[in-house]
Amino acid sequence: MSRRTFLSLGSNLGDRRAHLRSAVDSLPDVVAVSPVYETDPVGGPDQGAFLNIVVQLETDLTPGALLGLCHRIESGAERVREERWGPRTLDLDIIWMDGVELSTDRLTIPHPRWKQRRFVLAPLRDLAPELVSERDLQLADGAVRVVEDL
């Protein structure tokens, strides 16, 4: 069964735009891609600005299979996990899947902090305004600026 699914993608190391483009090109079942936002980091160490997007999929992948694919795409971008919320070439998070509520030690859907982060909410609102209220956006942490389309 195909499910509407939203992934958040971010990059703040190397050729940020190329990392995002390559990740989108590696994803199956892409329906839409938000504009690119440049965003201030939220949490973690002092680091450079991110480019962030949200991608909508219509996929029949299970949450676990999709998580595995996200990790493989991150590895392909030479993502290194040394410091929590540290700088990275590429970060892919499953934000939301139609009809899925899941909480395991490996994966939680909806993403546990999706409503706290403006870098997720602003591009998500471009694709699914019914999921993000103006109030949600105002209460979220971080500054975002639309850059352009990917």
Segment-wise mean pLDDT, segments of 10 residues, the chain, 150 residues: 95 93 96 94 74 97 95 79 70 94 90 88 96 92 86
Determine whether 91 is an active site residue: yes
Q: Which of 4, 17, 79, 113 is catalytic?
A: 79
Q: Which of 16, 93, 117, 118 is catalytic?
A: 93
pTM, two decimals, is 0.90
Residue spans per domain, the chain: 3-148
Q: Which residues contact 29 (CB under 8 A, 6 or more apart)?
A: 2, 57, 58, 59, 60, 61
In the numeric block, which tokens belong to residue 5?
Answer: 């699914």
Give the pLDDT confidence score for residue 148 in this predicted structure.
82
Q: Which of 16, 91, 117, 118 is catalytic?
A: 91
Q: Which of 16, 88, 118, 125 is catalytic?
A: 88
Give the pLDDT confidence score for residue 39 in this predicted structure.
86
How far, rounded to the nearest angstrom, does the alpha carbon of residue 96 sit from its chain's CA centroid?
10
**Residue 144 near residue 128 (C-beta atoms within 8 A):** no
Q: Domain 3-148 sits in which CATH superfamily?
A: 7,8-Dihydro-6-hydroxymethylpterin-pyrophosphokinase HPPK (3.30.70.560)
Determine whether 93 is an active site residue: yes
Give the pLDDT confidence score for residue 45 in this predicted structure.
64
